[in-house]
């Protein structure tokens, strides 16, 4: 079959993912029409692994025994003009934040 969608709002890869979610939902409903919707797994194995492990692979090694403010000061010295904080349109560099 075909899937019609607003191309101004969605790209093809997004709609392919949505199609997969919808098909998995339909398959689950056919398999057991009494199951609770929140228990139906919409993500396939690859997407679940990507979201849970790949995107969240943020583990970093930090110097043991260093105080947090000393680590911040060292980063401010190494990259003083880098953006440290952004809120809406306001930004502070590491140098500006460190001087406070």
Alpha carbons 24 and 42: distance in angstroms, whole number: 6
The pLDDT of residue 1 is above 80:
no
The pLDDT of residue 87 is above 80:
yes
The pLDDT of residue 33 is above 80:
yes
> Per-residue pLDDT averaged across 2-31, rounded?
94
- The residues, ordered by sequence, that sit 6+ positions from 22 with a Cβ below 8 Å of its Cβ are none
pTM score of the predicted model: 0.54
Buried b (16+ CB within 10 A) or exposed e, 39-72: ebebeeeeeeeeeeeeeeeeeeeeeeeeeeeeee
The pLDDT of residue 96 is above 90:
yes
- Average pLDDT of the chain, as a whole number: 92
């Amino acid at each position: 079959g075909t899937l019609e969608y607003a191309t101004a709002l969605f790209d093809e890869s997004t709609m392919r993912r949505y199609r997969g979610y919808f098909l998995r939902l339909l398959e689950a409903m056919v398999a057991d029409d009494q199951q609770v919707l929140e228990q139906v797994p919409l993500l396939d194995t690859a997407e679940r692994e990507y979201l849970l492990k790949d995107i969240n692979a943020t583990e970093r090694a930090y110097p043991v025994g260093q105080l947090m403010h000393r680590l911040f000061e060292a980063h401010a010295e190494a990259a003083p003009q880098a953006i440290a904080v952004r809120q809406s349109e306001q930004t502070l560099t590491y140098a500006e934040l460190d001087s406070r």
